[in-house]
Structure formats: structure tokens, C-alpha cells
Amino acid sequence: MTWRPTLCHHGKLMKKEVNGTGLFKKIKDAFTGEELMHDLCAHLQALGIHATLLASGSPDAIGPRWKKGPFISESVLGNIKIDGHNLDLLVVGRRSEGGGEDTSGGIVHPYFYVVRAPVEGLEKRLDAKSKSIRKGFFSKDVTDLQWEGGDLAQQLNADADLKAMILSTGLVGLEVRPDKTNRCVRILGYPGLPSREHFDLYDRIAHYIRIITGPRPR
């Protein structure tokens, strides 16, 4: 193992592992997502959003959608708390998926934009999924979209500005699902760093979720 001297932030000489530490950090971050969550939180703050990365075990954080089992393995990389908006959290998950005929499988990181609210008895009303309408049978051009589901889907369909936002950003195929386990509603968003336009779109959907669930719980 190779070591070389380097200066720490206090100006004192310290040892730095050249080969081992970097590799270990990459492997660790692949499982913990520490760097990803810090970068995501800093990105939201740069967009002017009051965002705070929650510590592991924070009472404000939520867990995975399902309990772990022999065939489903989902964990949470981290929770970012959002203040001053309809959304409450941005949660990044970590899920292993088996391969199919055209894919080899691997690790995926779903991004959930979360509204905390009691959803017991409201599950069918809060269920919504957007369906793309294309120019032709073989065309990739999306000309319109329709939300399918309960009361929430009807309210989303009635918002022409929201439809225009989705079509202009290309965020088609969005889903909204209630989560009784964690007492919240999840908007399954696109992975990666969101633009401010994307964030505002998710927050607009959250507005309609709150119309159904009622005021934010204290």
C-alpha cells in the first residue's frame, strides 16, 4: 500500500492513502449515497430552495416503501427536508432489480418527491399516473397526456398549465402513489439533479395532493 504526505486543512502534515482510500470511498458511497445526497442538497439550495439534509434516524425522515423480503430489497439513501413549499421531502432510494430479456439488472435509485399526510382511506383518491398520447402508433413525439386514477387524476387533468409544463419539460410517465406505511404520498420523479422548472412542477402536483389530504399535519 502506498502512502504520500499531504497537508490537511489545518496546515499540518498528514498521511494520505493513494490507492486504498479512494477505492474504499467509492465503494462506501455506492451503498450509503453520502456524496450523492450532499450534492443533491447543495443543488437544491443553489436553486433557492430551503433544503436540509436530514441525519440518519431523524424523526422527520421516512423509510422505504416496503419491508425487506427475500425478493424485494429497497433501502433509503437519504432524506432531504424541504421548507416553504407544498413538498416536504425529497427521498432517494436504492433498489436492486433483476435482469430481464433485454437488461442485465443492477442497482437503481428512485427519486421520490414526498408530501407528508395521513392517507388512510384516501388511497384510491390519491392514485394517479400520467399516460402519454403520441402523434402516431410508431411515433415518439408526445402531443398530449392524460392522468388516470382517482380524484387527484381528475384535478391534474383540469390544470392546463400543469399539462403544458409536463409536455415542455418532457417529464412524461409520472406517477403518484399513497404510502400508508410512512403516512405520505410519493411522486415518483425523474432521477438526477432537478432543474427549478422540474421542482416547481413536482410542487404544483403536491398542491393538489394537499387539497385532498388537508392541511399539513402539525
pLDDT digits (tens, 9 = 90+) for 20-76: 455 445 445 555 678 999 999 999 999 999 999 999 889 999 988 765 555 556 789
pLDDT in tens, 84-120: 999 999 999 987 766 555 555 678 889 999 999 999 9
Residue where the block lists cell 439550495: 45
Taking 60 as the threshold, does the pLDDT of residue 9 lie above it? no
pLDDT in tens, 150-169: 999 999 999 999 999 999 99
Tell me if 44 sits within 8 A of 78, measured CB to CB. no
Among the listed residues 102, 111, 113, 147, the one whose alpha carbon sits nearest the alpha carbon of residue 128: 147
pLDDT of 132 reads: 85
Q: How far apart are CA 163 and CA 184, in angstroms?
A: 24
pLDDT of 166 reads: 92
- CA distances in angstroms from 175 to 42, 114, 131, 132, 199, listed in the order given: 26, 12, 9, 12, 15
pLDDT of 106 reads: 74
pLDDT of 4 reads: 38
Q: What pTM value is reported for the model?
A: 0.80
Q: How far apart are CA 120 and CA 30, in angstroms?
A: 35
Radius of gyration of the CA atoms of the chain, in A: 20
Q: What share of the chain is helix, strand, coil (3-state, %, to 5)?
A: 30, 30, 40
pLDDT of 98 reads: 61
pLDDT of 216 reads: 72
Q: How far apart are CA 146 and CA 116, in angstroms?
A: 25
Query: Average pLDDT for residues 186-206, to the nearest whole number?
Result: 96
Confidence at 18, pLDDT banded by 50, 70, 90? very low
Confidence at 186, pLDDT banded by 50, 70, 90? very high
pLDDT of 17 reads: 39
